[in-house]
Amino acid sequence: MVLIPSLLFLIIPYAQAATVPDPPTALSAIPISPTVVSLSWSTPQNNGGAAITGYMIEFKTATKSYTTLSTLGNVTKYNSTGLTTGTTYIYRVSTINSVGTGNPSSEAVATPTKTSAPPKNIPPSPPTGLTATSYSGTQINLSWNTPASNGGPSVTGYKIQYSLDSGNLTNLVSNTGTAATDYSHTGLSTVHTYTYKVFAINSVGTSNSSNTASAVPIQVSTAPYPPTGLTANPASKASISLSWTAPQNNGGYSIVGYKIEYKVGSGSYSVLVSNTASTTTSYLHSGLTTGTTYTYRLSAINSIGTSFPSNEASAVPTKTYTPTGVTAVAVSPTQIDLSWIPPSETYGQAISGYRIDQKLATSVFDKIVDNTGQTTSYSIKKLSTGKTYTFVVIALFTGGVESNPSQEVSATPTSTSTSPTSPTTQPQSPAIPDPPTGLNVTKVSPSSVQLSWTAPLNNGKPSVTGYKIESKVGSGSYSVLTANTGVTTSYLHTGLIAGTFTYRVSAINYAGTGNPSAEASITLASNNPSPPPPVIESSGGILAVINTDNSISYNIIGGKILGISADQTTFSLQIQLESKSDGVLTLNLPRTLIDAKKADGSDDVYVVSSSKQILKFNETKTSDARTLAISYPAGTNEMSIYGTHVVPEFPISILVLVIALIPTIFFSRKIIR
């Protein structure tokens, strides 16, 4: 049939503005008790460009019209309760977004009986309560609830799909392989909206989808987290050695130094060093009083600000008999650097060097360096990545004696280990973002235009948080159209009149607003242009045939099916519809419902009419069904399909009635082309 493809292009939206969403898919209706039917469905492929906010469920019995059963939130499962046992119920579901309610889904039919019970060994019901939360500028965390029913076999994993902005959904993970109900999606961009849905998997199959959830990755640049693991050890009668671990989160910017505070006894804190201006994680505080308690805390500094203080650590300056302040830092995937402070008590002897031992087990050590010399640092190389190493340092004296071992220190070289004193990236100061590029203005209607642009390639490190749009009319001056659009890269400007409109866009981050983009202009004419092509109504699904226990599948373009009934007295199907344009109705007719046969048992032709006019149709056949694609004119509201039998079958003698009817039909035979 050539007509159907030629009409389909009319269904494509002519503008990029948000529209109502597509219908839900895969609607199922399963009786789970004599009075309850369980409904589930999958979210539509296209949400219309706006987040799904809920669903409307309608139902009816075979002889009634549809009524609203319930309007739900963003869920994909519902139990229809309080039903009459033995009655057939027909359901359909429509998706809702901020624009409105979309067309209904295909129908689903169910008849609760006395023996109805939850089916077993089936795919699980959909996961529920899916949420998407921005964790950083490159990561979104997902979480959801387990299905209400696992279908019998245990849930073994989840399939996760996502879409970028308003694009089509694609698989993120085909099977997580775990029953865990959370997932982190990484490697993302702050200029896109990510939308997700999740399916549960068991050994039988895959469920319908969960609700959808959307998020935009947001990089929140802040001061760093506090340093951790601060320790204070006496280094001599007048000095204390400090060491600590760099913060786990640098706030989005490299650490540029540390602020160190101290107090004496129970006094108040004073600043010892406002900024060490180094990423080194140790410090020697000298010139102290023997026997006095000193307490310390420190804060990390980046280009945004200063962190909260670390834990406190206290020490009393006193003689030391072993190396103190020992630190171990993994500076590469195969190297650990050690450093220490010499003992203050040497018993009148000079220190000739230091021995380094590696701990192999409890109280078991192996000497790995006989004598480092008089240096107070040493690099241990050719280590295994991912393995934790523990060391002690022992001072060697010229008289042949040695100190007790220092406190143990440990470090683990990893694939990302780098030297804290030579970071791979230098600290960057906050900067306003570059201008957006590719600004384009497209006419949507006589009074509205759509703006779109590309995020700046260099956004100045801090994340772009929005865009400022300015406009002017003709040769006038620019005025602010919107101060901040958010992170979207498009904008619909409505309520315009004839004239020339010029636009420019600037990117915004917390440091300020960048320079504007190149200009883009558009002229709206004063005459009324041709209206956009109409959106042809279309729908499809399965429809119960009144007066029978049968249902048939259908698809209609250019109209809407209201009902189908069987008339056994005329061997016909009577179809009620609404149509505002020329269209095509495609019906898949089971031969067990209606057929047309000659006396010798071969296929005869159907007669299809409307208001005593014969309608033209194309037909394809199988052994089980005959499919008609019937062309009809605008305004058609009823249609009849005549065969030689319709369920329940009647004696062949009653064909006389049909034969008598056909001349009447053909009396005003007008073929609709």
Q: What is the pLDDT of residues 128-157, one digit of tens each?
A: 889 888 877 788 899 999 988 888 788 999
Sorted by sequence, the CB contacts under 8 Å of residue 663 that are 6+ apart come out as none
Mean pLDDT of the region 110-127: 87
Mean pLDDT of the region 186-201: 89
Mean pLDDT of the region 346-369: 91
DSSP string computed for 601-631: SSB---EEEETTEEBPEEEEE-SSEEEEEEE
Whether residue 84 is contained in a domain is answered as: yes
Whether residue 431 is contained in a domain is answered as: no
Highest-pLDDT range among 553-557, 608-612, 660-664: 608-612
376: amino acid identity, one letter: T
Q: What is the pTM of this model?
A: 0.36
Measured distance CA(663)–CA(344) in Å, rounded: 122
Whether residue 282 is contained in a domain is answered as: yes
Q: Out of 366, 390, 419, pick the residue that ends a domain.
A: 419
Measured distance CA(300)–CA(427) in Å, rounded: 13
Q: What pLDDT digit, counting tens, does each position of 220-259 carry?
A: 667 888 999 899 989 888 889 898 988 888 877 788 999 9
Give me the chain's average pLDDT, please. 83
Q: Could you tell me if 554 and 592 lie in one domain? A: yes
Categorize the per-residue pLDDT at 565 as very low, low, confident or very high, splitting at 50, 70 and 90.
confident
Residue 168 has pLDDT above 50, yes or no: yes
- Of 84-98, 566-580, 658-672, least confident by mean pLDDT is 658-672
Instruction: Output the pLDDT for position 511.
Output: 62
Q: Could you tell me if 490 and 570 lie in one domain? A: no
Q: Could you tell me if 226 and 298 lie in one domain? A: yes
Domain carrying residue 603: 538-667
Categorize the per-residue pLDDT at 89 as very low, low, confident or very high, splitting at 50, 70 and 90.
very high
Structure tokens that stand for 665 in this block: 């039909």
Instruction: Output the pLDDT for position 428.
Output: 34
Instruction: Output the pLDDT for position 16.
Output: 54
Mean pLDDT of the region 72-93: 91
Q: Is the dihedral of CA 376, 382, 385, 390 positive or negative?
A: negative
Q: Could you tell me if 307 and 327 lie in one domain? A: no
Q: Could you tell me if 395 and 337 lie in one domain? A: yes
- Of 294-308, 377-391, 468-482, 638-652, least confident by mean pLDDT is 638-652
Q: How many CA atoms lie within 13 A of 192 on its CB side?
A: 14
Instruction: Output the pLDDT for position 526.
Output: 66
Whether residue 600 is contained in a domain is answered as: yes
Q: Give the dihedral of Cα atoms 620, 622, 624, 625; nearest 10 deg.
A: 0
Q: Could you tell me if 241 and 330 lie in one domain? A: no
Q: Could you tell me if 555 and 637 lie in one domain? A: yes
Q: Out of 76, 110, 144, pick the residue that ends a domain.
A: 110
Residue 421 has pLDDT above 50, yes or no: no
Q: Could you tell me if 375 and 412 lie in one domain? A: yes
Categorize the per-residue pLDDT at 63 as very low, low, confident or very high, splitting at 50, 70 and 90.
confident
Q: Out of 291, 318, 345, pick the residue that ends a domain.
A: 318
Q: Could you tell me if 550 and 659 lie in one domain? A: yes
Residue 670 has pLDDT above 50, yes or no: no
Q: Could you tell me if 487 and 447 lie in one domain? A: yes
Residue 566 has pLDDT above 80, yes or no: yes
Q: Could you tell me if 23 and 57 lie in one domain? A: yes
Mean pLDDT of the region 527-544: 60
Higher pLDDT: 542 or 273? It is 273
Instruction: Output the pLDDT for position 664.
Output: 42
Higher pLDDT: 15 or 164? It is 164
Q: How many domains does the chain have?
A: 6
Mean pLDDT of the region 417-445: 65
How far CA 564 is from CA of 548, 593, 646, in Å, comes to 10, 12, 13
Residue 29: CATH number of its domain: 2.60.40.10
Q: Could you tell me if 407 and 444 lie in one domain? A: no
